[in-house]
Amino acid sequence: MSTHRNVAPVFNRYANVFDPINNRHFFKRMMKHRAYFNMFPCFEQRHQICHKIGAKNLLDVGCGPGYQDVILAKALNMKVTGIDVAANMIQIAEKNSELTEVKQLCDFKVADFMMFQSDNKFDVVSSFGVIEYVKDTEQFLKNLMSYSNKIVIFTFPVKWHWFMPLRFLYYKFRHCPLKINTYTNMCTCIEQIGVKNYNIYRLNRNYLVTIRVNN
pTM for the whole thing? 0.88
* Tens-digit pLDDT profile for residues 9-62: 777 776 666 655 445 543 444 444 455 567 888 999 999 999 999 999 999 999
- Identify the pLDDT of residue 14: 67
Average pLDDT over residues 195-204: 93
Which class in CATH covers the domain with range 7-212? alpha beta
- Identify the pLDDT of residue 32: 45
- Identify the pLDDT of residue 19: 59
- Cβ-based neighbour number of residue 159 at 10 Å: 16
Using the CB atoms, write b or e for 83-121: b if 16+ within 10 Å. Answer: bbbbebbbbbbbbbbeebebbebbbbeebbbbeeeeeee
- Identify the pLDDT of residue 185: 96
- Identify the pLDDT of residue 176: 80
* Distance (Å, whole) CA 159 – CA 207: 10
* Tens-digit pLDDT profile for residues 96-151: 999 999 999 999 999 999 999 999 999 999 999 999 999 899 999 999 999 999 99
Across 2-143, where does the E strand assignment appear?
Answer: 57-61, 79-84, 106-110, 122-127
